[in-house]
Amino acid sequence: MAVADPLNVAVRLANKIACDIPRNLDIAMLRHTIHQLAAQRPTAVLVRKRRRRIVPAGYWALRKRIQRARARAAKAATEAPG
């Protein structure tokens, strides 16, 4: 079981107290302050970026040559008599 973040625990407790004691201005202010603190802190979740594939020099030119050769072969096969 993971250790809970103290700020998350404080948010949960503030929500619970606010629900148990309705219409209490002090609890509402405490709840609002804790939510503001929780919203200001940076999130620990990292955004995964797409990594560019490193290819040798001339790779894409070779791929294009192969693609053109296949297109020529397919065209020649359709135009061939038979």
How does pLDDT run across 1-58, given as a tens digit for each residue? 344 678 788 888 888 888 887 778 888 888 888 888 878 866 666 677 788 888 999 9
6 domain residue, yes or no: yes
Q: Greatest CA separation found in the chain?
A: 91
3 domain residue, yes or no: yes
Domain count, the chain: 1
The parent domain of residue 15 ranges over 1-44
Residue whose C-alpha is closest to residue 15's, from 3, 26, 27: 27
22 domain residue, yes or no: yes
Residue whose C-alpha is closest to residue 9's, from 44, 37, 40, 45: 37
14 domain residue, yes or no: yes
68 domain residue, yes or no: no
Q: Hey, is 45 helix, strand or coil? A: coil
Q: pTM for this one?
A: 0.41
2 domain residue, yes or no: yes
d(CA 28, CA 30): 5
53 domain residue, yes or no: no
